[in-house]
Amino acid sequence: MITRENLIYSASAAARILGIIYGQSRIVVREWFSVIWVWVPGHRPRFMSKAVFKHHFVERRKAAARALRVTQHIMNPTAFTVRNEDKGSTYTVQTIPTGLVCECEDYCNQVQFLGQGCCKHNYAVLNHLGFKSLSSYLNATKASTPTSVLAA
């Protein structure tokens, strides 16, 4: 089950970061104040940086986004259909000035637990639009709003 605690700092993420096959050993992950305590049975417990998990979280979605096919809607250019050819699944992504909205479970979990989200479908649309990251998209949309021109 996805919770606020294990969305980013999960045992499966720790296994991928450490290069361990998940399922072979029961990895214990605990969020401490500013670090993650990770214990792989048979090894000494270790601390891992939260930044490493956050980086992994983003990079994994960016990597998955590369396999997706994006089609911009003709009548509504802020809407995109993102198709996973392998699974045969499609999701609709909507661009808004404050980010991108998706209807998938990962996006909904991120919004619920992190307050904002960027799933692999969102990254596929960002790639399609020529943005390397969500922050570069947000900077561009901020720069194009009339209020920021007035504020400058």
Query: Is beta strand 28-31 parallel, antiparallel or unpaired with respect to 89-96?
Result: unpaired
Q: CA angle, 111 as apex, 31 and 64 as ends, to 5°?
A: 85
Q: How far is the CB of 74 from Zn ion (least distance, A)?
A: 21
Judge whether 20 and 27 are in contact, CB under 8 Å. Answer: yes
Nearer to Zn ion among residue 17 and residue 70 (C-beta):
70
Choice between 53 and 121, CB closer to Zn ion: 121
Residues 76-115 binding Zn ion (CB under 5 A) are 102, 104, 107
What is the helix, strand, coil percentage profile of the chain, to 5?
Answer: 40, 25, 35
Map residue 50 onto helix, strand or coil.
Answer: helix
Q: Largest Cα–Cα distance of the chain, in whole Å? A: 61
Q: How far is the CB of 13 from Zn ion (least distance, A)?
A: 18
Q: How far is the CB of 47 from Zn ion (least distance, A)?
A: 32
Among 8, 29, 118, 121, binds Zn ion (CB under 5 A): 121
Q: Rounded to the nearest whole angstrom, what is the least distance from the CB of residue 25 to Zn ion in the complex?
A: 31
- Determine, following the binding rule CB under 5 A, whether residue 124 of this chain makes contact with Zn ion: no
Q: Does 123 bind Zn ion (CB under 5 A)?
A: no
Does the protein bind Zn ion through residue 125 (CB under 5 A)?
no
Q: Which value, in Å, is the radius of gyration of the alpha carbons in the chain?
A: 18
Residues that bind Zn ion (CB under 5 A): 102, 104, 107, 119, 121
